[in-house]
Amino acid sequence: MWTTIAGWTGFFRFVVRDAAADRCWAALFPRLPGAPEIVMTIMVVGGAGFIGSNFVLEWLSLGLEPVVNLDKLTYAGNRTNLSGLPPDRHLFVHGDKADRALTAELLAQRRPRAVVDFAAETHVDRSIRGPEAFLTTNVLGTFHLLEAVRAYWLGLAGAEREAFRFLQISTDEVYGSLGPDDPAFVEESPYAPNSPYAASKAAADHLTRAYGRTYGLPTLTTNCSNNYGPFQFPEKLVPLMILNGLAGRDLPIYGDGRQIRDWLHVADHCRALRLTLERGRPGETYNIGGGQEKTNLETVELLCRLLDELAPAADGRPRRDLMRRVADRPGHDRRYAVDFSKIARELGFAPARTFEQGLRETVEWYLGHRSWTDDVVSGAYRDWVKVHYGAASLEGGEKS
């Protein structure tokens, strides 16, 4: 669909192989500022990652505006997540949100009515071992994106300027850790990040707020709880346990396994984001949660039961026997939970799935997409798992 020509700069490094598709884009997205009609688009940044690709797929499945999708394609970004999208509805651009010139060119040419920023380094363990990448992408990258968006927004007039929105996608980890009996975080809870990842996302949130307050940019911020679902890179708890369980490898659990997380299916998250774009008040923050608090032990045990039911081991061994304790993560937050009554009250959001229903759907998805998982589990991924969890997490066991 789209290819890269080395040495070209800006948007024109991306060309269409299909002339008919090129004519479709020329018709849908006029490039000349004086064109008589401009069809609305949205720009998604980081739309080849886990949450971003789910958002793009759902958005287009609902027949909403065409999407311009800018993604750097780091290890967790995957073009195959977007396979089959029609070129007259989806434009993929391989690039970095920190590339202000590229971003500015895309904004000027495609004139989106909203920019949704998913692009971030997100894994806590990686931030502990290598925090610089998190500061580069999550802080400086967000700054450069905001600068490009601000300049674009200032050039809009009338209804276009009034309708424009910038949506910053963030995490509940910026709030820090809760005690067992503490009330869930609300939007006014003070930030108290405990990892380099959480600190970098907190900085991005503060920048977004500052651009709204200082420059008047119509910003929105959402802070979500732990996501799970299709296309999640298998460094995170749910897909790591699914793939290791299928392969008969150890299921590594940090510390005592009693850390509590509030779980949110990615499809429910995407629906909340659409509501935020549609109805959210500029300058506001909305917490998005699933209302499903579980310990890590409970989550892994449920995954084991689902795997035993849906894909029994050849030797009949229960997956629970594969559970192993490993040394706890430095600074590991004990409990996350968000109060999402504001988005429920103001925007009408409610999660559609129970945790068991959502996990069942997720296990079934990974069982039905083994070629996807085989492709993403590369040598680099295997090296990372070995460093974090030990060789036993990669060795032995059933092959399925």
Closest CA to 134 of 86, 197, 82, 176: 197
d(C-alpha 209, C-alpha 207), whole Å:
5
Q: Which of 152, 175, 197, 366 is catalytic?
A: 197
User: Does residue 173 have an active-site annotation?
Assistant: yes
d(C-alpha 100, C-alpha 141), whole Å:
9
Q: Which of 99, 117, 172, 187 is catalytic?
A: 172
Residue found by looking up tokens 């609902």 in the block: 62
Residue found by looking up tokens 């948007």 in the block: 11
User: Does residue 286 have an active-site annotation?
Assistant: no
| Residue 253 amino acid letter | I
Q: Torsion over CA of 69, 72, 77 and 80, rounded to 10 degrees?
A: 60
Q: Which of 125, 173, 262, 333 is catalytic?
A: 173
d(C-alpha 92, C-alpha 70), whole Å:
6
Total Cβ atoms within 10 A of residue 11 = 18
> Which residues touch 12 (CB under 8 Å, ≥6 apart)?
none
Total Cβ atoms within 10 A of residue 159 = 9
User: Does residue 172 have an active-site annotation?
Assistant: yes
The encoded tokens of residue 248 equal: 């008969």
- How many helices (DSSP H) and strands (DSSP E) are in the chain? 15, 14
Question: Catalytic residue positions?
Answer: 172-173, 197
